[in-house]
Amino acid sequence: MGMSTISRHSHMFISVSLAMFIVHGNQVGIGIAGVQRFIYDRVQQDAWIAVIIAGLMTHVAAWVMLKILRKYKNLDLYDIHQMVFGKWPAKVLNLIFIIYIMGSALTILRGYIEIIQSWMFPEVPSWLLNASLLCLAIYGVTGGIRVLAGISFFSVGLTICQLLLMIYPAQYADFNLLQPVFHHDLVELLDGARKMSFSIIGFEIILFIYPFVKEKQLLSRYVHGGLLMTTLLYVVVMLVTLLYFQGEQLKHLIWATLMMMKIVEFPFLERFEFVSISLWMLIMLDNLLLNLWVAMRGVHHIGGFKERKALIGIVIVMFFASNFLETRQSINWITDVFGAVGFYIIFVYPLVLYIVILLFRKGTVQT
C-alpha cells in the first residue's frame, strides 16, 4: 500500500494550540495515580529530582521528533518509515509501533479497571467494565481527530482540578522527609528517571497528529508547553507525596495519589476519592482514545483495511487480552514490559532514525 494522503477538508485539521492539550493529555493518565513508589524505590527522597530529569528528557526527545517531522511535508511516522526504509522494512517497523501503542492502551485500560474494582465496585466483573469502556472508545475514536482534541482539552482541565486538591495533603507536609537532598549520584537519578518514563511518555503522539495540525511552524512551542505542564504536574504530585508519606509507607502503596485523596472532605461529601476516580475516567479515556486512533491508522496503513474495521479488530483483540490480566502480578508484568520497551522506542529510536535521515538523506521532502 502506498503512502496515505490526507484530505484538505477543514474538518480534518486541528488548531496548533490544541496540540499542547493533546500532548499533555496523552502523557497524564493512570500512571499519576501510583508511579511514586516505583521512583521512590530507586532514589528515595530525591525522587522529585528524577522526575525533573525525566521531564528534561522528554523535551530532548520531542525536539528530535520535531526535527524529523520538519523534514517531511504532511507525513506521519508511518509514511516516513516507508520513505526512509522502503515498503517491507517500513511494514515491520510500523507493526512494532502498532503493537507498542496497543500495549500502552491495554495497560491504561486494565489499570483503570483495577482502580474501579479495588476502590469502588469489587464485585463487577472485568469483562463488563472492559466491554463498556471499549464500546465508549469506539464511539469516541470514530468521531475523528477533532473530537479527540476536544476530549484532550477537557481532560486537561480535570487534571488541573485534581492538582489543586493537592492543597489538602500539603497542609500536613513534613519537610524533614526531603532530607538529605542530592543523596544519590547521577547514575541512580537517571535510573529513577527511567522508571518514570512509562508514566511520562505519550508525547510521541506528535509523530502521528502532525499531518492534521494547522500552522505547523508554531507546533514546537505548543509541544514543549505541553511537556512543561506535565513535568510541573508530576513534580508537584511527587513533592507532596514525599512530604506526606513516610518512606516505608510509600514503598507499599500501590495508589499513593488516591490515598492522599481520601483526606479530602466536603460538608456534603466525605468519600471524595470516589468522585476523583469517576472524573479520572475522562482522563483515562483521553489516553485510550488517542492510542486506539494511532493504532487504527497504523493497521489501515500497513494492511489496507478500512479504518472502522481496523478499529473493531483492535478493540476485539484488546478485549480478550485485557480479560487475561486478572492479577496484580500480571498487570505489573505488562506494565514493566511496555515501560522498558517504551523507553527505547520513545527516547532512543527517534534519535537513531534522525541520524539515519541525516546520513543518507533518504526520502527527505523538505529541509
The tens place of each residue's pLDDT in the chain, 367 residues long, gives 445 444 444 457 888 989 999 999 888 877 777 778 888 887 888 888 889 999 999 999 999 999 999 988 888 999 999 888 888 899 999 999 999 999 888 888 888 888 888 878 888 888 888 898 999 899 889 888 888 988 888 888 888 877 787 888 888 877 887 777 777 778 888 888 887 877 788 899 999 999 999 888 899 999 999 999 999 989 988 888 888 887 777 777 777 887 887 777 766 666 776 777 777 788 888 889 999 999 999 999 887 788 888 999 999 998 988 888 777 777 778 777 887 888 889 999 999 999 999 887 655 555 4
Q: Cell numbers 483495511 correspond to what residue?
A: 305
Domains of the chain: 18-355 (1.20.1740.10)
Q: How far is CA 160 from CA 44, 55, 61, 232, 234, in A?
A: 26, 18, 25, 11, 12
Which residues, 6+ apart, have CB-to-CB distance to 167 below 8 Å? none
Evaluate whether 46 touches 336 at the Cβ level (below 8 Å): no
What would the 3-class secondary structure string for 174-228 be?
CHHHHCCCCCCCHHHHHHHHHHHHHHHCCHHHHHHHHHHECCHHHHHHHHHHHHH
Q: CA 284: distance to chain centroid?
A: 9
Cα–Cα distance between 122 and 211 in angstroms, integer? 43
Q: Cell numbers 508537584 correspond to what residue?
A: 236
Evaluate whether 137 touches 291 at the Cβ level (below 8 Å): no
Evaluate whether 19 touches 320 at the Cβ level (below 8 Å): no
Which residues, 6+ apart, have CB-to-CB distance to 321 below 8 Å? 106
Best CA proximity match to 321, nearest among 140, 148, 115, 134? 134
Q: Cell numbers 474538518 correspond to what residue?
A: 11
Cα–Cα distance between 130 and 132 in angstroms, integer? 6
Strands (E), the chain: none
User: Would you give the DSSP letter of residue 15?
Assistant: -
